[in-house]
Amino acid sequence: MSSTVSYWILSSARKTIATLQGGQRLYSRYASNRIISRWRFFPQGPATLKDNATACGGIAVQKAYRHTSTEEEDFHLQLSPEQVNEVLRAGESAHKILDLVSRAPDSVLRFESNQLAANSPVEDRGGIAACLQTNGLLFGIFDGHGGHACAQAVSERLFYYVAVSLMSQQTLEQMEEAMESMKPLLPILQWLKHPGDSIYKDVTSVHLDHLRVYWQELLNLHMEMGLNTEEALMYSFQRLDSDISLEIQAPLEDEMTRNLSLQVAFSGATACLAHVDGVHLHVANAGDCRAILGVQEDNGMWSCLPLTRDHNAWNPAELSRLKREHPESEDRTVIMENRLLGVLMPCRAFGDVQLKWSKELQRSVLERCVDTEALNIYRFTPPHCYTPPYLTARPEVTYHRLRPQDKFLVLASDGLWDVLGNEDVVRLVVEHLTEESQHKADLAQKPTNLGLMQSLLQQRKAQGLHAADQNAATRLIRYTIGNNEYGEMEPERLSAMLTLPEDLARMYRDDITVTVVYFNSDWIGASSKGS
Amino acid sequence: VMLHRLLAMVRGPGRCGGWQKGCSARGSASAAAAPPVVLPARAQVVVCGGGIMGTSVAYHLSKMGWKDVVLLEQGRLAAGSTRFCAGILSTARHLAIEQKMADYSNKLYHQLEQETGIQTGYTRTGSIFLAQTQDRLVSLKRITSRLNVIGIPCEVVSPKKVAELHPLLNVHDLVGAMHVPEDAVVSSADVALALASAASQNGVQIYDRTSILHVMVKKGQVTGVETDKGQIQCQYFVNCAGQWAYELGLCSEEPVSIPLHACEHFYLLTRPWETPLPSSTPTVVDADGRIYIRNWQGGILSGGFEKNPKPIFTEGKNQLEIQNLQEDWDHFEPLLSSLLRRMPQLETLEIVKLVNCPETFTPDMRCIMGQSPSVRGYFVLVGMNSAGLSFGGGAGKYLAEWMVHGYPSENVWELDLKRFGALQSSRTFLRHRVMEVMPLLYDLKVPRWDFQTGRQLRTSPLYDRLDAQGARWMEKHGFERPKYFVPPDKDLLALEQSKTFYKPDWFEIVESEVKCCKEAVCVIDMSSFTKFEITSTGDQALEILQYLFSNDLDVPVGHIVHTGMLNERGGYENDCSIARLSKRSFFMISPTDQQVHCWAWLKKYMPEDSNLILEDVTWKYTALNLIGPRAVDVLSELSYAPMTPDHFPSLFCKEMSVGYANGIRVMSMTHTGEPGFMLYIPIEYALHVYNEVMSVGQKYGIRNAGYYALRSLRIEKFFAFWGQDLNTLTTPLECGGESRVKLDKGVDFIGRDALMQQRQNGVYKRLTMFILDDHDTDLDLWPWWGEPIYRNGQYVGKTTSSAYGYTLERHVCLGFVHNFSDTGEEQVVTADFINRGEYEIDIAGHRFQAKAKLYPVPSLLTHRRRKEDVELSDLHGK
């Protein structure tokens, strides 16, 4: 979706073309240090790219100069600040929890999210939903690799798995009953932000069947209260991943469903999912998305409380887990060049059956498949793959009881964390809050008459205040791609980064998806006193 | 009792200052105290939505005698857009049907207080539409001349008069204005409550705080609704859910696509002016300044339609009523500045608040009403584009008529849900399109305006090829169609500058395309046409088609028949061409926007029979129109088959080879009356055939042409098109289509009785062709459509389409002539009546003399050419 948005904006921007001054330097400087591809065996693997970029940086620049599908050989478009804002804000969404949506926990005040694509189509997904049969809000960030299929599937399905896992025995029985008598189901979720283009209807019905099998199994557990949140998150992650894997091992009649399921299983996605119910905050993470809390101590100082640990080669716990799970002989090969088996950055993820299945199983499944090439499936068994599975979707679940000093939660894909540190992120959100309250203050002591109001508004316009980001997620993205190596905001760089042609964008930046959730400290304070 | 409770809950902006507070807290308390309600188990009609639309539909249904009606509202009555509506009722609309709806609403609301005893705050203030530019004034003059003929007083006034009407207005930058003295302001929430109260007295049952979860459908028919308080069985369901209609449409076994999307809309409320403005202060619309201003309790209420709207609720529903939406003063700044420019003295006026009231918009700026094409008994009335109050009464009446009688009393095709299909329902498309539509409300509306967003959705395989050759595009039903081709050496004006009511910059381009169609050969990509195939194992296809179409379809295989698809009243539901491919299969070509409507109509009448198959093959064929005297040469050279009239008579269809491609469906017909062929090409051959045609055609002077050339050709030849000239209320006898009706074909068909009757009684209107006489193409305003026609100084009807005829070197308008008696009754129109009149066409207040014709003008020029051609080809033959 966002690719269409930016296409529209870019094509309207194209009308105002200006030569880009000093763009050349920008590209060459950037090209050398930001080439990250999750899967290294992909056609445009970093090995060749790196050579290109360092040795013949000039070529990359030449190419960057030409925008794909335009004739303006010698021009590059530079966006005006308004156009930059339009591009950055195209993916914005904000939501305020209202009294009427009584099912949402009172601890959440509002949330803001945004997404900026680098891949085409974008491989990140973000979704937000309220569980309708239990209390609680779910916030999810999904970062796909090797295509968007897996991220799309996980982002749509995981919420349902979690919601079902949290349901009481009684609710599950009602669901089953409705299903049996072909009556409309109880509503499971209310999407507050849908992860995007839903895949085809027929496929959804297959997914619903599998979800049903899952809840039938939960029913058979005979636990009246259902699972606790931690178990629910743990089970649903693993259950969904195994369903993704099993779906293509079982024969599927419909070719389209089958092809889609293959694409899902042979691509991958990391996931970070937060569940907020009153003061209870659970975060389940598998991969290198990250969730942090912005905390304001009594003395007014801000600090950061990480709620997840990245599952990658820089995490000693993950390293020792991997070594523990595989024979000693593989100690040197299980992580090579900071990648799992030398190929994959995150050590936990959905999909990626190449790293989960034996060679034999892979072969037998793919033999049945007509044309892997056309489906963009990479038939590849990494070297040193002796004792699969190497990859798991088992999440690490952390629990945090919200305190009045916990002001906000930031969830984002690694496109953000690669550039900004946890402290930077907290600082930027705090700045955003301060500015927002200042702007509000300007308007809070509202001028009483129209003339005064007009001059205040015109003043604000002149200062550019009206153009300030209303959305903290947008601000974070703006700084992620606009910061130079000294950590300063550089407008030219921002504009240049946003006008990169589709085929180049991924080399300079990653997909970025951010959600910022603001907590209601007063409510949290009152309810912790109460209990 | 219930009604009292309902009435107590909502206070519109027409009331005292505390209106905003009154709603949220108190309302819920009283509901909580109320005993649990029990819904009726069944009803004839369930209306969803307690806003002005839902209450108006319920009111009109009950007036027409349908009293077994249940109205359900998820929040409280009139708590959606209706509550926050600015309360301006304006009849100055661009479409005739919209003018009529607004006029009816005005009259209805005027007497509503008397009828129901509920105060509606109705005040006849009149309204003033300002023009800062000459073009805007032209636009207002056009509206003026059209309002006057339907009996709505309205006049164009000078800036000086404006200053007298409204002393606070700055009139220095104005060139004129339009004054509509009978426009009014009214509290829309109170109107909705009054309508609800009247409906309730007529027997309609109203339940608030009841959400519909699901609409039950069995075998394509509504059977009931499932609500959070239980089920109701019903035969009819009416979706008047406003902002929530899109999602409600999907909550059904058979989803109903209702393309609409909401945008935030802001307006300002102020405290009273030092000397409170009198309640009769006229409403001001300054479209060039993008704002409206009305009197509100002695102060003002002012809002507008900004250039950069903020779409919301893309993700869908998140609250039951509209409340707590954020104000955004920074966003409002341009409108505020515009307001203070218009009324500088208001600077000292004190602010009460900035209201954020989301409004729904549709992809073409027209509201949506009618029955779902896929679910019988599922009706819709939504998407008001900020004019819900103005349309509420009239739209509710038409929809009620539609449900009770099976059709509304006016032609509402322009508003019919079936003009859209599922293809307009993508959220991304809607979000982008409404961002264009909302500012367009106050933009200048000029002829031939094309939407810029949501384009390139459906294209022909030749799109890129044509685009590279300079094609400029227009869109119909999501399909890109070429308008004309800009030669490489020519530059056209930028989009904004090209807006004009006068001679457009493409005039010469289209002229040369037309000339080429007349003298040599042109190729036009007409792939957007709707194409159906009807096949059966036995005679079922022929039988059903004979029943559905007015012409005789029992023709030899290979013949093409032009025919109308008529309704019971003899009116055109569709006008199409049908080729008999074999004894048992037919190929049907209809206008582009008939894809949904025609399909629904055929499905409605076709028996459930697995031996009778209807297939939409629109996407399977690329259609090329080879048009012009040389088309025959190009084709015969490409196919090595003789194409002369002896071998390939007119209105004939053959499968043949063109170039390397075999199985091309070639039809000796055009849609303009020129000689030529239609080629229906399986899409994979499209590029090949196009290339072959272009390369072989080179020596005959072939070139690309677009729809503007086609339009000029067909109007000059007096070819009426469905959707523009023909509609469900016009019969073949009223537009010279007698030859396309076979009353004595030996089989009964729909509409036959009505036509028999009409043949006996005579027609009450007649489609006539007008040739403008004293019109200067270079200097005068161009006709468009909807211009009033005067006969001997008396208003007799309106034009339906117009174009410049390059052969006649005159403007040609098509339009209907009526014969009104002194008392306004319609009388029979005879050929003699038409011929014995002096005619004038009123373009924006200026009347031009016109000659009326009942039959196309035989063109001497083309005749002579054709004769030469025959001689020439004879020469070649020898």
Mark yes or no for CB contact B336/A447 under 8 Å.
no
With CA atoms as reference, report the closest residue to B801 among B855, B721, B733. B721
The pLDDT value given to residue A247: 86
Residue B326 pLDDT > 90: no
Mark yes or no for CB contact B349/A449 under 8 Å.
yes
Whole-number average pLDDT of chain A: 78
Residue A358 pLDDT > 80: yes
Whole-number average pLDDT of chain B: 90
With CA atoms as reference, report the closest residue to B569 among B734, B445, B779. B734
Instruction: Determine the angle formed by the axes of helices B188-201 and B2-9, rounding to 10 degrees.
Output: 180
Chain B residues with CB under 8 Å of A461 CB are: 330, 333
Residue B873 pLDDT > 90: no
Sequence-separated (6 or more) residues with CB below 8 Å from residue B168: B277, B343, B345, B346
Mark yes or no for CB contact A466/B330 under 8 Å.
yes
The alpha-carbon radius of gyration of chain B (Å, integer) is 28
Chain B residues with CB under 8 Å of A100 CB are: 319-321, 323
Give the C-alpha separation, B829 to B766, whole Å. Answer: 7
- Distance, first Cα to last Cα, chain B: 95
pLDDT class of A269 with cuts at 50, 70, 90: very high
The pLDDT value given to residue A442: 66
Phi-psi region of B676 (alpha: psi -120 to 50; beta: other; left: phi over 0): left
For residues A175-196, average pLDDT: 81
Chain B residues with CB under 8 Å of A458 CB are: 333, 337
**Per-position DSSP letters for A202-230, written without gaps between them:** HHHHHHHHHHHHHHHHHHHTT-TT---HH
Instruction: Return the residue of B nearest to A467 by Cα.
Output: B330
Residue A56 pLDDT > 60: no
The pLDDT value given to residue B239: 97
pLDDT class of B859 with cuts at 50, 70, 90: low
**Residue B367 β-bridge partners:** none
Across A82-86, A501-505, B771-775, the highest mean pLDDT is recorded for: B771-775
- Reading the block at residue A50, the tokens are 């790196």
The pLDDT value given to residue B434: 93
Sequence-separated (6 or more) residues with CB below 8 Å from residue B484: B471, B472, B506, B509, B510, B513, B705, B706, B707, B708, B709
Give the C-alpha separation, B340 to A327, whole Å. Answer: 79
Contact present, A391 and A237 (Cβ < 8 Å)? no
Give the C-alpha separation, B626 to B634, whole Å. Answer: 9
What order do you get walking across the sheet with B261-263 strand by strand?
B311-312, B261-263, B359-361
For residues B420-441, average pLDDT: 90
Q: What percent of chain B has pLDDT over 70?
A: 92
Query: Residues A224, A230, A235, A236: is their CA dihedral positive or negative?
Result: positive
Mark yes or no for CB contact A465/B339 under 8 Å.
no
Between A4, A96, A448, which is nearest B350 by CB?
A448
Smallest CA–CA distance, residue B571 to chain A, in Å, is 39
Between B226, B318, B453, which is nearest A184 by CB?
B226
Candidates B333, B349, B495, partner chain A, best to mutate (most A CBs within 10 A)? B333
For residues B404-429, average pLDDT: 92
The pLDDT value given to residue A47: 34
Interchain CB contact of A193 with B (< 8 Å): yes
Smallest CA–CA distance, residue A391 to chain B, in Å, is 34
**Residue A277 β-bridge partners:** A280
Residue B841 pLDDT > 70: yes
Write b or e for each residue in A228-237: b if 16 or more Cβ atoms lie within 10 A of its Cβ, otherwise e: ebeebbbbbb
Interchain CB contact of A178 with B (< 8 Å): no
Chain B residues with CB under 8 Å of A457 CB are: 329-330, 332-333, 336
For residues B279-293, average pLDDT: 95
Q: Dihedrals φ, ψ of B61, to 5°? A: -60, -45
With CA atoms as reference, report the closest residue to A83 among A467, A439, A363, A418. A467
Helical residues (DSSP H) of B750-843, grouped into ranges: 752-761, 831-835
Interchain CB contact of A93 with B (< 8 Å): yes
Chain A residues with CB under 8 Å of B330 CB are: 457, 460-461, 465-466
| C-alpha B416: how far from chain center | 7
pLDDT class of B153 with cuts at 50, 70, 90: very high
Interchain CB contact of A184 with B (< 8 Å): yes
The mean-pLDDT minimum among A161-175, A281-295, A357-371, A444-458 falls in A357-371
Between A8, A98, A454, which is nearest B340 by CB?
A454
The pLDDT value given to residue A371: 65
The pLDDT value given to residue B845: 93
With CA atoms as reference, report the closest residue to B774 among B854, B857, B858, B851. B851
CA dihedral A145, A147, A152, A155 (to 10 degrees): 0
Give the C-alpha separation, B593 to B598, whole Å. Answer: 9
Residue-wise pLDDT tens digits, B106-135: 999 999 999 999 999 999 999 999 999 999
Quick check: helix, strand or coil at residue A403? coil
pTM comes to 0.76
For residues B67-96, average pLDDT: 91
CA angle B796, B768, B800 (to 5 degrees): 75
More confident residue, B859 or A191: A191
Smallest CA–CA distance, residue B554 to chain A, in Å, is 42
Q: What percent of chain B has pLDDT over 90?
A: 79
Residue A361 pLDDT > 60: yes
The pLDDT value given to residue B442: 94
Interchain CB contact of A458 with B (< 8 Å): yes
Residue B649 pLDDT > 50: yes
Q: Which residue has the tokens 């006016």?
A: B410
Mark yes or no for CB contact A457/B332 under 8 Å.
yes
For residues B766-792, average pLDDT: 95
Between A187, A450, A465, which is nearest B349 by CB?
A450
Instruction: Return the residue of B nearest to A186 by Cα.
Output: B213
Mark yes or no for CB contact A450/B340 under 8 Å.
yes
- Reading the block at residue B437, the tokens are 């539509």
Interchain CB contact of A4 with B (< 8 Å): yes
For residues A238-252, average pLDDT: 87
With CA atoms as reference, report the closest residue to B735 among B575, B533, B558, B601. B575
Beta strand residue intervals within B166-211, DSSP E: 176-180, 184-185, 205-207
With CA atoms as reference, report the closest residue to B287 among B92, B7, B43. B92
Residue B14 pLDDT > 50: no
Interchain CB contact of A16 with B (< 8 Å): no
Instruction: Return the residue of B nearest to A101 by Cα.
Output: B319
The pLDDT value given to residue B319: 60
Write b or e for each residue in B644-653: b if 16 or more Cβ atoms lie within 10 A of its Cβ, otherwise e: eeeebeeebb
**Residue A525 β-bridge partners:** none
Residue B496 pLDDT > 80: no
The pLDDT value given to residue B470: 93
Smallest CA–CA distance, residue B75 to chain A, in Å, is 10
Residue B23 pLDDT > 50: no
Give the C-alpha separation, B245 to B429, whole Å. Answer: 17
Interchain CB contact of A32 with B (< 8 Å): no
Chain B residues with CB under 8 Å of A193 CB are: 315
Q: Which residue has the tokens 């005789």?
A: B552
Residue-wise pLDDT tens digits, A30-55: 333 333 455 554 333 333 333 333 33
pLDDT class of A372 with cuts at 50, 70, 90: low
